[in-house]
Structure 1
């Protein structure tokens, strides 16, 4: 089987992507529950998994190009590679490639959703802080500044 190395790389990519997807879903839950320590704890794992995915992806791309050149594929693409493989192997390569594409789309969707959640939380925090700042300036409400009766005493003491 000529494409064994490529299929092995894609299988490794799929395995890592499943772990990454679980971690991303954990991040979604942590952000939704506003569990900051949990979000902070997950971030190094997410960074490591993303880097691992990128590394395997780069290796798989290099292997696919090498294989396409070796087999004399008319196009340096998946379609070109599949066209020069025997029928059974081509079907397996195409099936695995489709799984990788589907998994990558799922990861992108969850990353996008989590990004929106983070943006929403930041907007909420910004709005809350703005309200607190306005209330402190107005001088009415629980956050108003208190007048100190000792200011004149301090001025007299300094004189």
Structure 2
């Protein structure tokens, strides 16, 4: 089977993406609970996992291009590669590629959700700080400052 290296890389990618998804879901929980320490504790692990997934992805792309050239594919793409492979091997590669695409979409969806949650929290904090600053500057209400010398 000529595509063994590519399949191995994609399987590594799938394992790494599962781990990344778990960490992303942990980040979702931390942001939802407004647990800043937990969010900060997760960040380095998240960045490391993202780097690992990107590195595996780059290797898989290079391997797919190399393989496409080696087998004489009409185009250096997955579609071109599949068109020249034997039927069984092409089916396995296509199925694995579909799993990778679904995994990538799931990661992107959770990352977008987390980004929106974080943006929402920042808007909430900004609004709260604005209200506090406004109340402190008004000079009326139960928390107004007392004139000095009273």
TM-score range, shorter chain: over 0.9
Summarize the alignment of residues 21-100 of structure 1 with structure 2, pairs less than 5 Å apart. 21-100=21-100
Distance 1:33 1:98 in 2: 34
2:111 is aligned to 111
Shift of 1:143: 3.9
For normalisation by structure 2, the TM-score amounts to 0.97
Superposed CA RMSD in Å reads 1.0
Name stretches of at least 5 consecutive residues in structure 2 with no aligned partner. Answer: none
Larger Rg: 1
How many aligned positions are there?
A: 150
Distance 1:148 1:93 in 2: 79
Name stretches of at least 5 consecutive residues in structure 1 with no aligned partner. Answer: 151-159
> Following superposition, which runs of at least 4 residues in structure 1 exceed 6 angstroms of deviation?
none
- Flag the 1:133–1:92 CA change in 2: closer, same or farther, 3 A: same
SS of the residue 1:19 aligns to: helix
SS of the residue 1:133 aligns to: helix
For normalisation by structure 1, the TM-score amounts to 0.92
CA contact (8 A) 1:132 1:143 kept: no
Cα deviation, 1:14-53, whole Å, max 9, x if unaligned, reads 0000000000000000000001111011000000000000
Shift of 1:142: 4.3
SS of the residue 2:54 aligns to: helix
